[in-house]
Amino acid sequence: MPFPVSAASLAVTSIVDLLIATGVAAAFVAPDRSMKFVSEEARSLFGASGSELSLQTIESHTGIHIGDLSVPATATIRMGERSLFYSLVPLSGGAAGAVLVFRPADASTQSHASFNSFVREAVFGPLRALRDLTIQASRTRGPGDPLLDDVAATVEQVLSSLELAPEVSDSGFAQVPTVTDIVNQVASRFGTRADLKGIKLQVDAQDLEERFRDHERLAESLGIFMENALHYVPAGGQIVMGVRWMEYKGKPLLLFFVMDNGPVVPEALRRPMFEANFVWNPSSPERSGRGLSKIREFALAHAGSVWVEARSGKACTFFLRVRPDGVA
């Protein structure tokens, strides 16, 4: 195409329309940290009527630091007598940047409960169907249709945004997937990007019936592994993603892995890169990683661990080991 897809993207208008429809205090921030959109509710919340709202204004009112726009964040904040939920939702594709959302912490009101019920019953299913159909339509057009890929990415971002809202998760309305299903779903989500980059993406997963109650965070953790692999693996490379069932001292374990033939992680970084204070530098010639501390937090919460190996010197393998959490 002679111009960037983002120049004619439906992503920005789609997300803005959603923010207006939900009636929440929200702001759409561009990658350069300028404001693309500020809802009337946000202007009212921060007293910015008639003037432009900036990140500096938000930080001064809330006391929070808005850091890297590519890293999700949530917090409970106080503004005077009000308690609010704050969420930073990174965006990609044709809607690069992030959405900042501020919601009342008291979710017991009838209007908020009605909105939660509506989202669970009428939004998640159709949005997921639209995403899957769009991806399928793109793949039938050979190497993929950039506009369809952008729409699918936008729908995925909207779903991720809604899932961050308290009491909106639809996990109680759908069967918890098996860990094998989760691996296949995550791999499918990144299939189009791998194809566009000329990377062979392979799934090597045992057919397991184990289910994981915290399956959304598991999928998020595997997605971070995939994001990093796609960032570092060159065109023509290969990524293998899978899961194995193990037993240690009579107790079951689930071992997830993402292996690729991209650059090897230097020995000195293999432990620090999983720490919360590690700073990712995408321009560095050394391979590190982004968002890996979130995977470590998830692993520790489930009596597990996370690490990286590069024994052959030709391939990197990231491992996530957790105990099943008892879902039948």
Element (H, E) at 189: helix 179-189
Q: Do 176-322 and 5-105 have the same topology in CATH?
A: no
The domain spans of the chain are 5-105, 176-322
Predicted TM-score (pTM) above 0.75: no
Q: Which CATH class is domain 5-105?
A: alpha beta
Of 249, 161, 170, 243, give the one whose Cα is nearest residue 203: 243
Report the CATH number of the 176-322 domain: 3.30.565.10
Q: Please report, in tens digits, the pLDDT of each residue of the chain (328 residues total).
A: 333 333 334 555 666 666 676 677 888 888 888 888 888 888 888 887 645 688 888 888 888 888 888 887 777 787 877 788 888 888 765 557 888 888 876 544 444 555 555 565 566 667 777 776 777 677 666 666 777 777 777 777 776 666 655 555 554 434 678 899 999 999 998 998 899 899 999 999 988 888 887 888 899 999 999 999 998 899 999 999 999 998 877 778 899 999 999 888 888 888 988 988 888 777 777 887 788 989 999 888 888 899 999 877 778 999 999 987 654 4
Residue 36, classed as helix, strand or coil, is strand
Give the separation between CA 307 and CA 250, rounded to whole angstroms. Answer: 23
How far are the Cα atoms of 19, 72, 87 from residue 161, in angstroms, in the given order?
Answer: 10, 10, 9
Residue 321 phi/psi, 5-degree rounding, is: -115, 125
